[in-house]
Amino acid sequence: MQGGSSGIGYGLKYQARCISDVKADTDHTSFLTGTLSLREENEVHLIRLSSGGTELICEGLFSHPNEIWDLASCPFDQRIFSTVFSTGSLFDIDLPFYGLKMETGLIVFFAGEGESYGAAIWQIPELYGQLNSPQLERIASLDAHTRKINCVLWWPSGRHDKLISIDDENLFLWTLDCSKKTAQVQSKQTSGMLHYLSGGAWDPHDINAVATTCESSVQFWDLRTMKKTNAVERAHIRNANYDMKNNHILVTAEDESGIHIWDLRKPKSPVKELPGHTHWTWAVTCNPEYDGLILSAGTDSSVNLWLAPTSAEEDATSESIVESPAQQAGPLLNSYSDYEDSVYGLAWSSREPWTFASLSYDGRVVVESVKPFLSRK
């Protein structure tokens, strides 16, 4: 860490890609993160920001059977979260079988011919602090996938017994019953042959609307009919995030071309463009509290904090034609660049919305406060 950084660090043992805010924990600012190691035993860390806000404490450490590609905390139960994982195929050289493999009560589904992907809902044991080696309890396996799974989505706004999982080709809607520990496919939709899905986002304002990203566009689905309702044609969208505060606003991150803010009522062209990162813009997330505050993480080993309110978009866009250079400098509040590797994980704390956690590939969690930049508003 170089001087001047206000970030609080925390090191994971292995490389990692995903971090999630534990929204349901209203007493503490906590984050969940999972490692991505092909050959080691992977871990899930429950990290808590100390009450003074000066250090990150490992609240819980759980082993996870496979490397974690996606992790999402349940918005209404702090002990429940979902992961998407892959096993690789340890036996492709020695053993010519690709099938079902049993491992500590987990059913892994092999996708394709080599790599195996799975998704599951986990529960942290109740008294994990007092146990020596607490084990995660698998509530349910989202085991209907036959393709590479990309992500599992919870409805971000509150208690809802539905889950969405997205693989390369399909969108699944699950009914989750935590007490009975079951997850059942309620409906499923294939995106179409030519669209390889890469991820998605659930509209916090509309329980029936979900967006999926694929190579050439963002598609919007109505979960009641499982039909496409809309699409934004845009190539190479890596990540999409709904604005928590403003309806119809979606922020997307694209490999080379930065960040775009869309008003979904006008899907032809973005209402705003932000330059993004020097290399790919990997993740983007809107602040749950402050209007127009956007974080983006990039493979250029940096996290950028933007201020791009869309409420005043009308005059802002007309102005941007004239004063675009000034505008260019305007929206970027700060660039956090004290990372050693690409940053893939990014999460705002919903409890302390001026705080965010970032996770770089080398397994380093950094929690920062954006307070110094808020005062500028």
Partner 1 sequence: MGAEDNVPLDDKAKRMRDLLSSFYAPDPSTNNAPSNPGTLDAINTSSFDADQYMNLLIQKSNLDELLQRHVEMAAEIKNIDTDLQMLVYENYSKFISATDAIKRMKSDIVGMEANMEQLLDKIMSVQSKIQFIYDLPTRLGKCIESEAYVDAVKFYTGALPIFKAYGDSSFQDCKQASEEAISIIGKLFSDSESIQARTEAAVLLKQLDFPVDSLQVKLLEKLEQSLGDLQLKTDDIENASMESNDPKLGKVPDSVHITAHEGSIRGFAEAISAYRVIFPDSEGHLIKLAQDLVVKHFETVEQCVKGRFSCANLLVVLRTIWTDVLLMDEVLSEAVLPGFSLEAAQNALKQHVASTFNYLLHDISDALLRLNVSSKEAAEENPLQVALEASKKALLQGSMDVLLDFRQLLDDDLGLLVQLRDFVSDWVQEGFQDFFRALYDRFFLLSGRKSSSSQDQGLTAGAHGEKVLAGLVLVLSQLSVFIEQTAIPRITEEIAASFPGGGARVYENGPAFVPGVMCRIFRSAGERLLHHYINMRTQKVSTLLRKRFTTPNWVKHKEPREVHMFVDLFLQELKETTSEVKQILPQGLERKHRRSDSNGSTASSRSNQLRDDKTNRSNTHKARSQLLETHLAKLFKQKVEIFTKVERTQESVVTTAVKLCLKSLQEFVRLQTFNRSGFQQIQLDIQFLRTPLKETVEDEAAVDFLLDEVIVAASERCLDPIPLEPPILDRLIQAKLAKWKEKNPITP
**Neighbour-count burial for 95-124, b at 16+ CB within 10 Å, e otherwise:** eeebeebeeeebebbbbeeeebbbbbbbbb
- Min dist CB 217 to partner 1, Å, is 13
Using CB under 8 A, pick the residue from 3, 4, 27, 39 that binds partner 1. 39
- Min dist CB 137 to partner 1, Å, is 27
Nearer to partner 1, 38 or 100 (CB): 38
Question: How does DSSP assign 263-311, residue by residue?
Answer: ETTSTTS-SEEE---SS-EEEEEE-SSSTTEEEEEETTTEEEEEE--ST
Tokens of 242: 């709904």
- Angle value at C-alpha 260, between 256 and 263, nearest 5 degrees: 155
Choose one: 127-135, 185-193, 255-263, 288-296; the region binding partner 1 (CB under 8 A).
Answer: 255-263
Using CB under 8 A, pick the residue from 5, 53, 55, 92 that binds partner 1. 92
> Which of 135, 125, 113 is closest to 79 using CA atoms?
125
Determine, following the binding rule CB under 8 A, whether residue 325 of this chain makes contact with partner 1: yes
Using CB under 8 A, pick the residue from 5, 6, 26, 40 that binds partner 1. 40
What lies within 8 Å, CB to CB, of 54 at 6+ separation is 8
Determine, following the binding rule CB under 8 A, whether residue 361 of this chain makes contact with partner 1: yes
Choose one: 20-28, 47-55, 128-136, 275-283; the region binding partner 1 (CB under 8 A).
Answer: 275-283
Question: How does DSSP assign 215-251, residue by residue?
Answer: SSEEEEEETTTTEEEEEEE-S-EEEEEE-SSSTTEEE
Determine, following the binding rule CB under 8 A, whether residue 89 of this chain makes contact with partner 1: yes
Measured between alpha carbons, how far is 89 from 93 in angstroms, rounded to an integer? 9
Determine, following the binding rule CB under 8 A, whether residue 96 of this chain makes contact with partner 1: no
Determine, following the binding rule CB under 8 A, whether residue 27 of this chain makes contact with partner 1: no
Using CB under 8 A, pick the residue from 113, 129, 132, 133 that binds partner 1. 113
Phi, psi at 326, each rounded to 5°: -65, -40
User: Is the four-CA dihedral 124, 69, 152, 241 of positive or negative sign?
Assistant: positive
Determine, following the binding rule CB under 8 A, whether residue 376 of this chain makes contact with partner 1: no
Determine, following the binding rule CB under 8 A, whether residue 321 of this chain makes contact with partner 1: yes
Choose one: 130-138, 186-194, 251-259, 367-375; the region binding partner 1 (CB under 8 A).
Answer: 251-259
> Which of 238, 377, 361 is closest to 302 using CA atoms?
361
Residue 173 CB-half CA count within 13 A: 22
* Coil, strand or helix at 313: helix
What does DSSP say about strands 364-369 and 355-360: parallel, antiparallel, or unpaired?
A: antiparallel
Determine, following the binding rule CB under 8 A, whether residue 322 of this chain makes contact with partner 1: yes
Determine, following the binding rule CB under 8 A, whether residue 99 of this chain makes contact with partner 1: no
Cα radius of gyration rounded to whole Å, the chain: 20
Using CB under 8 A, pick the residue from 342, 349, 350, 355 that binds partner 1. 342
Nearer to partner 1, 167 or 300 (CB): 300
Choose one: 75-83, 121-129, 183-191, 264-272; the region binding partner 1 (CB under 8 A).
Answer: 264-272
- Min dist CB 235 to partner 1, Å, is 9
> Which of 14, 25, 17 is closest to 124 using CA atoms?
25
- Min dist CB 320 to partner 1, Å, is 8
Nearer to partner 1, 35 or 349 (CB): 35
Measured between alpha carbons, how far is 82 from 67 in angstroms, rounded to an integer? 13
Using CB under 8 A, pick the residue from 6, 51, 269, 311 that binds partner 1. 269
Determine, following the binding rule CB under 8 A, whether residue 137 of this chain makes contact with partner 1: no
Using CB under 8 A, pick the residue from 8, 12, 15, 191 that binds partner 1. 15
End-to-end CA distance of the chain: 27
> Which of 344, 353, 231, 235 is closest to 292 using CA atoms?
353
Determine, following the binding rule CB under 8 A, whether residue 278 of this chain makes contact with partner 1: yes
- Min dist CB 53 to partner 1, Å, is 27
Using CB under 8 A, pick the residue from 126, 161, 256, 314 that binds partner 1. 256
Site residues (vs partner 1, CB under 8 A): 14-15, 38-40, 86, 88-90, 92-93, 112-115, 236, 255-257, 268-270, 273, 278-280, 299-300, 317, 320-322, 324-325, 328, 340, 342, 361-362
